[in-house]
Amino acid sequence: MAEIRQTMFAIDSARNHFEQVVDPTLIDCYIYELNAAQLRYQFLIKRVKSMEVWAQEASEDKNERMV
């Protein structure tokens, strides 16, 4: 969860910088940073969801063995 919070901060930071710059090189830089941070966020969310599914399946298996 800490990585997700850091990534959300990176997205906000890149977006804020992008909105304030006028130099074309810096615009490209912040577009790149924003896209990279958004992709990392998507990856982390998928990872958390897959871990939740795995935990739920493990819990169901454990419950089935107890019955």
| Owning domain of residue 32 | 2-66
| H or E, element range at 55 | helix 24-66
Question: Do the Cβ atoms of 39 and 11 come closer than 8 Å?
Answer: no
Q: What is the pLDDT of residues 52-66, one digit of tens each?
A: 877 776 776 666 666
pTM of the predicted model as reported, rounded to 2 decimal places: 0.76
User: CA-CA distance, 24 to 36, in Å (whole number)?
Assistant: 18
- Give the total number of structural domains in the chain: 1
Q: Give tens-digit pLDDT for 26-58.
A: 999 999 999 999 999 999 999 999 988 777 767
Q: Which of the pair, 20 or 54, is modelled with greater confidence?
A: 20
